[in-house]
Amino acid sequence: MTSGIWILGDQLFEEQAALQSCVGQRETTPILLIESAAHAQERPYHRQKLVLVWSAMRHFAEELRQAGWHVTYAIAPDFQTALLDWIQTHGITELRVMKPADRPFLTWLRSLSLPCPLTLLPNNHFLWQPEEFSAWAKGRKNLLLEYFYREGRQRFGVLMEGKQPIGGQWNFDKENRKPPKGKLNPPKPLWFEPDDITLSVIDRVQSGKFSAYGEIEPFRWAVSRSQALQVLDHFIRDRLPGFGSYQDAMVTGELTMWHALLSPYLNLGLLHPLEVIRAAEQAYYDENLDLNSVEGFIRQVLGWREYLYGLAHYVDEDYPQRNYFQHHRPLPDFFWDADRTEMNCLHQTLKAIEQTGYAHHIQRLMILSNFALIAGLSPQEVEQWFHAVFIDAYDWVMQTNVIGMGLFADGGILASKPYAASANYVNKMSDYCKSCRYSPTKRTGDDACPFNFFYWDFLNRHRTKLETQGRMSFILKNLDKMSPDELGEIRRRAIEFFEGEPIR
């Protein structure tokens, strides 16, 4: 019997379940990592995403070799060819794999015709197993994040005093919505210079064989666990103290604000969610940090991240194809080229993504997803774009986050109402409108902000469906205050923005 382990590209930690199952036989257990060209070509991925994943995989392979494991690192046309060759070469009689986080990849893996049995071990890179999430969700009328988050706080004893939350309340989100007034000075993020391994990956991605997006240099992301731990320490020390109040703010030239920049490393396996949560919690006790900052950050990891993963494995398999509002407009070209839009908020956000593969959660939700929702863009095209361009994107993240939270295409499984907003929100929470040719206060006219006429056109087109969302009734009453002429002009502007093609 020869058990071999295939380590996937987002499972890069030595405590992962498949490795731990053979830790006592490391000298005789073959290990495989595969760098698949075909997988890299499934989407026009951001070049820095390809560099990050492949460089992190190569660094991890070296770390495993130094720890005494026998590692094969295959640079191959596709996964299946490399996997079958490795199984035959090493006489593998049992293939062990930690369960993929992505449901489509798990389905593909199970469909393979292998010459040996496949053993799937539970994915211990998440705090909740899919079966545990299903047990929590069973029989509930709704699956709101807030209730799941509270369950997680109690289950893992995070920021708790007995059975009660520290500070007397579970959620301090209302304190974390300050607009960016005055001069803000966010701390600079911790970046790294590429080493020889990373430089070789950059050369591979630059070879022209990949239909990719975005700028490849300067590449400054962490690519190893030791570097990721440095980013975690830097966040806890220099960024977490100011994280809370301005976590929803957007400022020109400030790409990262106080955000942690840990999601790429969490999603690769370089950091474990519980060590990140405990580090933030300990800083609250040791450094007397503001509770709204610490709780707000922990909610993103213990709440939101775990919730998305559980939900991705809980919903029906047709979830990625949901389209509640029946929006079918193709993705505009400016999503691939920021210089093709005159909307400054979109330009600033899209330009940052081109340069780094990153934008923070409010830019993703209230600029990109908000625009896609009210402009009637296809949820499937938007989700595919998010998956391609963001450095921390995977199926389990984006299918629920974009289809559910961002575009309400699931009809309310994830969110209690659509996150639709006019230019007023953008103007309040950013400085983008000050340098834009459009006016954030106008709904009609040549300088009317598209966020305004798209917003009101969206409400008018979908009024019947939106009336069933109780939290929308007050807003919808404003449509009755508009004249038929104004609503007609709003509709015309929404059509003309896309060169005369009506929104369907």
Rounded Cα–Cα distance for residues 258 and 187 (Å):
7
The CATH number for 98's domain is 3.40.50.620
- In Å, how far from its chain's centre is CA 440? 28
- For the chain, give the mean pLDDT: 95
Question: Is 36 a member of any domain?
Answer: yes
Q: Is the pLDDT of residue 502 over 50?
A: no
Rounded Cα–Cα distance for residues 392 and 302 (Å):
17
Question: Is 400 a member of any domain?
Answer: yes
Last residue of a domain, one of 121, 144, 161: 121
Q: Whole-prediction pTM value?
A: 0.95
Whether residue 157 is found in the same domain as residue 235: yes
Question: Is 381 a member of any domain?
Answer: yes
Q: Is the pLDDT of residue 503 over 50?
A: no
Last residue of a domain, one of 74, 95, 121: 121
Whether residue 196 is found in the same domain as residue 135: yes
Question: Is 502 a member of any domain?
Answer: no
The pLDDT of residue 470: 67
Spatial contact of 158 and 282, defined as CB atoms under 8 Å apart: no
Q: pLDDT grade, residue 504 (50/70/90)? A: very low
The CATH number for 328's domain is 1.10.579.10
Question: Is 16 a member of any domain?
Answer: yes
User: Distances in Å between the alpha carbon of 329 and those of 229, 355, 498, 503?
Assistant: 42, 26, 9, 7
DSSP secondary structure letters along 178-244: ----S---PPPPP-----HHHHHHHHHHTTS-S--BS---S-----SHHHHHHHHHHIIIIIGGGTT
Rounded Cα–Cα distance for residues 76 and 32 (Å):
12
- Per-residue pLDDT, averaged over 242-266, amounts to 94
Rounded Cα–Cα distance for residues 57 and 480 (Å):
57
**pLDDT, tens only, 159-181:** 999 999 999 999 999 898 899 98
Q: 67-87 as b/e, with b when 16 or more CB fall inside 10 Å?
A: eebebbbbebeebbebbeebb
Whether residue 114 is found in the same domain as residue 135: no
The CATH number for 271's domain is 1.25.40.80
Spatial contact of 396 and 315, defined as CB atoms under 8 Å apart: no
Going by C-alpha positions, the residue among 305, 287, 292 that lies closest to residue 236 is: 287
Spatial contact of 197 and 58, defined as CB atoms under 8 Å apart: yes
Whether residue 332 is found in the same domain as residue 481: yes
Whether residue 290 is found in the same domain as residue 331: no
Whether residue 94 is found in the same domain as residue 231: no
Whether residue 336 is found in the same domain as residue 430: yes
Spatial contact of 95 and 84, defined as CB atoms under 8 Å apart: no
Last residue of a domain, one of 314, 343, 364: 314
Q: pLDDT grade, residue 499 (50/70/90)? A: confident
Count structural domains, the chain: 3
Whether residue 179 is found in the same domain as residue 116: no
Q: Is the pLDDT of residue 111 over 90?
A: yes
- Per-residue pLDDT, averaged over 209-237, amounts to 96
Residue 412 burial by Cβ neighbours in a 10 Å radius (0-12, 13-18, 19+): middle
Whether residue 16 is found in the same domain as residue 139: no
Contacts for 168-174: CB closer than 8 Å, 24+ residues apart: 170/146, 171/146, 171/295, 171/299, 172/244, 172/291, 172/292, 172/295, 172/296, 173/296, 173/299
Question: Is 504 a member of any domain?
Answer: no
Spatial contact of 276 and 297, defined as CB atoms under 8 Å apart: no
Domain coverage including residue 325: 321-497
Whether residue 234 is found in the same domain as residue 103: no
Whether residue 155 is found in the same domain as residue 189: yes
ω into residue 320 within 30 of 0, thus cis?
A: no
The pLDDT of residue 404: 96
**pLDDT, tens only, 3-22:** 999 999 999 999 999 999 99
The pLDDT of residue 471: 75
Whether residue 339 is found in the same domain as residue 443: yes
Task: Look up residue 204 and give its two tokens.
Answer: 């591979």
